[in-house]
């Protein structure tokens, strides 16, 4: 089978670029630890309280250390349960100081949901039976909308919360 | 000896006449596709209106019901019917169809129609607002899944007929290479069969028993994995018929020859290898799949770039060679010699151009880490409206302009050609606005598959709504394009003047190198495909099954059942 000279050049260049690209992706993933979230941690979706992180009192924001936080989220159609504040009101807005390290942990009580802190890399599928988790540094101040970005039913577009990163 | 060789070659490029009965079969498939275009397009219009925030659906119709119709009828019905009609036309023209094969093809058609009606009914009754991906544990009415299974089974039967058509031809032409287009159809039906086995297993083994109540729970992650094992090759099943037209039909339309028969076959074989073992790149943000396996499938995904680069080279080489033969001078003079006023060329050509940003967007989507920026945002919707709704659709329209009059014994008149050009331009403008706005909104975090919502306000949401307004404008322009296309379809089918329209099939250069006979080694191609699939999927699927959480009971109320 014959390859035209120009086609050889074109393919060599193209495949070369592809190889470099894949090496960059692999380096980032395996040496810099930038894999997308995949922990394979399971949970009983019919009884998420059996897991310490998803007991009602542990939902929402918890300060672990200076600049270190955990946010536990129990997703269900069509709501993110972020726990209750001191007065017993439902939390829909979370505030964290700029530069904090935040560990997001989410699970679903019913169907599949999405969890996206819009405009950031915090973008996870939330599925019954699994715990989705991702640790990120929140460095850019602003108010971010948290949206469910996987269809979960007729009220899907009403499933949201907000996250404020303050200076 | 020379004479014998020449005679053989004329025999190879021989084109068979298409009988009236055959035409009826092919046109039946294609007609369903155009009906689907009209209905699905109307749903699309309603969606962009709703998302603009200025319009609410009347009679209590749910946004997600409309969205389910849009996805199922355009993504599954339009594409599958048009492709099967096109496949049959190509096979009928190049290798012929027997009476028995034609009868079986009709059986396939009616099984598909029955399945389509079953599925459509459940959606229209509001019993299946699960979108075309039907992710468990949302549960639709069992008839939704049974209908889908029938569509798939019908499409398999159609594919088996294609295989038997080639087999019969090969028996009568021992030692000859199969016609290029018949080879391509066989690859695409093979791809479809191997890929849809995944979704068929999910539907038959998991969804149907579970939706009927025989199985109490379902393994959600396994069902998603089986779906995406099918879902990615599905897009190549849409794309390859467009490539058939680009490789083997467009050269004839512009008055040129096929650049290289062997390279065309090689690229199709590579697409067969590398479009299936790659479904994990749709599941990159999934919590239950090991990241190393995700990365392995990401690498396999990117292998399709190689045949894509080969295709781009071949097409532009054909364009340049042809333009130069027609007297085009200088570095770019050949470009002007291309038949820009022929819609059979212009519409697919715009489709090719759209595939440049479309393909680049696809690379971003599958890029392991970068995926997190765009996953499930409306960027993805913008992406596949460039690839399938522009590249593939404009090529299918380009095919329709000659295929329909050819089958109906009519002519594409200059007036209809002009209307077609206007249609292609309307489509391009509408899509540039709509898809462009979707891409930008997606980068700003705007979600896909969501009805209008202010999400409690905020700056980000305001920006999204602005782009949703632009999508409504683009979508409206596209709907005008759909009306125009359906009008052209009706004209070409029933009212265009009687005559003979050419079925353009390009031939090779006189001095083309012979295609190596090993291209006909189907066992080898299927063997490599299966090995790649087993290598990419065995371990992670075992892992998913062994480490699965408790199964999920069905949920009806979230979709309003």
User: β-strands A93-97, A100-108: how paired?
Assistant: unpaired
Query: Which residues, including other chains, have CB under 8 Å from residue A22's CB and lie 6 or more apart?
Result: B299, B302
Reported as type and span, the H/E element at residue A63 is strand A60-65
Q: What is the pLDDT of residues B168-212, one digit of tens each?
A: 999 999 889 999 999 999 999 999 999 999 999 999 999 999 999
Q: What is the pLDDT of residue B13?
A: 53
* Predicted confidence (pLDDT) per residue in A94-114, tens digit: 999 999 999 999 999 999 999
Q: Domain limits of chain A?
A: 1-35, 48-166
Q: Is A8 on the interface with B (CB under 8 A)?
A: no
What is the spatial distance between Cα B367 and Cα B383, in angstroms, rounded to a whole number? 14
CB pairs under 8 A between A and B: 229
Residue A61 contacts residue A94 (beta carbons within 8 Å)? yes
Contact call for residues B145 and B203 (beta carbons, < 8 A): yes
Cβ contact, residue pair B516, A36, below 8 Å: no
Q: Which of A77, A78, A90, A123 to mutate to test the interface with B (most CBs of B within 10 A)?
A: A123
B448 is catalytic: yes
From the list B236, B268, B271, B467, the catalytic residue is B236
Among this protein's residues, is B139 annotated catalytic? no
Predicted local confidence at residue B15, as pLDDT: 85
Give the distance from CA B339 to its chain's centroid: 26
Cβ count within 10 A of residue A97: 15
| ipTM here | 0.95
Q: What is the pLDDT of residues A27-73, one digit of tens each?
A: 999 999 889 988 889 999 999 999 999 999 999 999 999 899 999 99
Is the minimum CB–CB distance between A44 and chain B shorter than 8 Å?
Answer: yes
Contact B449 A2 (CB under 8 A): no
Q: Helix B343-365 crosses helix B378-386 at what angle (to 10 degrees)? A: 150
Does A53 reach chain B within 8 Å, measured CB to CB? no
Q: Which helix (H) or strand (E) holds B525?
A: helix B522-546
Are A38 and B291 contacting, i.e. CB atoms less than 8 angstroms apart? yes
Give catalytic status of residue B102 as yes or no: no
Q: Positive or negative, the Cα torsion across A49, A52, A56, A59?
A: negative
Q: Do B369 and A28 make contact, defined as CB atoms within 8 angstroms?
A: yes
B384 catalytic per annotation: yes
Q: Which residues of B touch A44 (CB under 8 A)?
A: 549-550
CA-based max dimension of chain B: 81
Q: Which residues contact B220 (CB under 8 A, 6 or more apart)?
A: A112, A127, A128, A129, B135, B136, B137, B551, B552
Which of A9, A42, A93, A118 has the highest number of chain B CBs within 10 A, making it the mutation to test binding with B? A118
pLDDT at B318: 94
* pLDDT of the residue at B509: 85
**Residue of B260, B372, B461 with shortest CB distance to A121:** B372
**pLDDT at residue number B14:** 66
Dump pLDDT digits (tens) for A126-139.
999 999 999 999 99
Q: DSSP characters for B283-328?
A: STT-TTS-HHHHHHHHHHHHTTHHHHHHHHHHHHHHHHHHHHHTT-
Residue carrying the six token digits 């999508």: B471
Residues 510-539 of B with CB under 8 A from A: 513, 515-516
Q: Residues of B with CB below 8 A from A130's CB? A: 221, 287-288, 549
> Least CA distance to B139: which residue of chain A?
A111
Q: Is B397 a catalytic residue?
A: no
**Is residue B217 less than 8 Å (CB to CB) from chain A?**
no
Q: Strand A68-76 relative to strand A60-65: parallel, antiparallel, unpaired?
A: antiparallel
Domain ranges within chain B, ordered by starting residue: 20-506+527-559
pTM score, whole prediction: 0.95
Token pair 């050949």 in the structure block, residue = B334
Q: How many CB atoms lie within 10 A of CB A30?
A: 13
CATH topology for the A48-166 domain: Immunoglobulin-like (2.60.40)
- Dist CA A115 CA A134 (whole Å): 11
From A109's Cα to the closest Cα of chain B, the distance in A is 10
Task: Tell me if chain A has a CB within 8 Å of the CB of B31.
Answer: no
- Are A128 and B451 an interchain contact pair (Cβ–Cβ within 8 Å)? no
Q: How far is CA B324 from CA A8, B468, B536, in A?
A: 22, 45, 45
Interface test with B, best of A48, A153, A161 (most B CBs within 10 A): A153
In CATH, which of 3.90.580.10, 1.10.3720.10, 1.20.210.10, 3.40.640.10 is domain B20-506+527-559?
A: 1.20.210.10
pLDDT value of residue B89: 97
Residues in chain B, pLDDT under 70: 1-14
What's the pLDDT score for residue B84?
Answer: 98
Cβ count within 10 A of residue B510: 8
Write out the H or E segment, with its range, that includes residue B128. none
């Amino acid at each position: 089978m014959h390859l035209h000279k120009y086609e050889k050049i074109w393919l060599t260049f193209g495949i070369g670029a592809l190889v470099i690209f894949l090496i960059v992706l692999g380096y980032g993933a395996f040496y810099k630890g930038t894999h997308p979230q995949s922990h394979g941690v399971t949970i009983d979706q019919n009884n998420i309280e059996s897991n310490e992180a998803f007991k009602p009192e542990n939902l929402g924001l918890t300060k672990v250390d200076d600049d270190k936080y955990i946010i536990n989220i129990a997703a269900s159609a069509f709501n993110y349960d972020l726990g209750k504040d001191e007065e017993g009101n439902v939390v829909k807005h979370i505030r964290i100081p700029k530069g904090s390290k935040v560990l997001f942990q989410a699970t679903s009580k019913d169907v599949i949901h999405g969890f996206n802190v819009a405009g950031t890399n915090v973008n996870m599928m939330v599925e019954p039976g699994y715990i989705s988790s991702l640790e990120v540094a929140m460095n850019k101040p602003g108010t971010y909308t948290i949206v469910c970005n996987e269809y979960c039913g007729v009220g899907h577009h009403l499933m949201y919360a907000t996250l404020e990163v303050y200076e | 000896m020379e004479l014998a060789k020449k005679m053989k070659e004329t025999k190879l490029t021989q084109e068979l006449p298409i009988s009236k009965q055959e035409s009826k079969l092919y046109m039946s498939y294609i007609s369903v596709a155009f009906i689907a275009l009209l209905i699905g397009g109307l749903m699309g219009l309603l969606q962009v209106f709703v998302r603009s925030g200025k319009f609410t659906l009347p009679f209590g119709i749910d946004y997600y019901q409309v969205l389910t119709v849009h996805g199922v009828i355009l993504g599954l019905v339009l594409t599958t019917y048009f492709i099967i009609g096109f496949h049959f036309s190509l096979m009928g023209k190049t290798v012929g169809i027997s009476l028995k094969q034609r009868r079986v093809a009709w059986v396939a058609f009616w099984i598909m129609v029955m399945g389509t009606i079953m599925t459509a009914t459940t959606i229209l009754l509001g019993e299946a607002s699960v979108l075309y991906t039907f992710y468990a544990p949302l549960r639709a009415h069992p008839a939704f899944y049974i209908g889908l299974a029938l569509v798939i089974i019908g499409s398999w039967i159609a594919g088996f007929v294609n295989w038997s058509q080639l087999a019969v031809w090969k028996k009568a032409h021992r030692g000859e290479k199969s016609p290029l287009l018949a080879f391509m159809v066989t690859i695409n039906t093979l791809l479809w069969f191997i890929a849809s086995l995944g979704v068929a297993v999910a539907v038959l083994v998991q969804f149907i028993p579970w939706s009927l109540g025989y199985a109490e729970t379902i393994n959600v992650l396994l069902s998603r994995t089986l779906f995406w094992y099918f879902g990615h090759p599905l897009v190549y099943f849409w794309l390859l018929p467009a490539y058939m037209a680009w490789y083997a039909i467009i050269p004839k339309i512009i008055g040129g020859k096929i650049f290289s028969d062997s390279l065309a076959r090689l690229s199709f074989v590579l697409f067969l290898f590398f479009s299936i073992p790659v479904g994990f790149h749709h599941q990159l943000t999934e919590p239950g799949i090991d990241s190393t396996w995700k990365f392995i499938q990401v690498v396999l995904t990117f292998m399709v770039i190689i045949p894509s680069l080969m295709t781009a080279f071949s097409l532009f080489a054909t364009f340049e060679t042809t333009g130069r033969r027609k007297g085009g001078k200088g570095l770019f003079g050949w470009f002007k010699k291309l038949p820009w006023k022929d819609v059979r060329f212009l519409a697919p050509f715009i489709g090719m151009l759209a595939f440049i940003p479309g393909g680049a967007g696809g690379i971003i989507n599958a890029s392991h880490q970068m995926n997190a920026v765009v996953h499930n945002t409306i960027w993805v919707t913008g992406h596949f409206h460039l690839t399938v709704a522009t590249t593939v659709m404009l090529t299918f329209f380009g095919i329709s302009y000659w295929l329909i009059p050819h089958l109906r014994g009519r002519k594409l008149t200059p007036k209809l050609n002009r209307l077609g050009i206007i249609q292609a331009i309307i489509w391009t403008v509408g899509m540039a606005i709509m898809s462009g706005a979707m891409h930008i909104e997606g980068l700003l975090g705007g979600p896909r598959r969501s009805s209008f919502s202010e999400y409690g306000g905020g700056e980000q949401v305001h920006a999204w709504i602005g782009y949703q307004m632009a999508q409504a404008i683009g979508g409206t322009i596209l709907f005008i394009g759909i009306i125009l296309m359906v009008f052209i379809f009706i004209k070409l089918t029933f009212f265009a003047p009687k005559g003979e329209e050419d079925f353009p099939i390009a031939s090779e250069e006189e001095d083309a190198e012979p295609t190596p006979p090993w291209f006909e080694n189907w066992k080898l191609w299927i063997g490599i495909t299966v090995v790649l699939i087993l290598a990419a999927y065995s371990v992670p699927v075992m892992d998913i099954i062994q480490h699965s959480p408790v199964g999920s009971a069905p949920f009806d109320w979230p979709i309003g059942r």
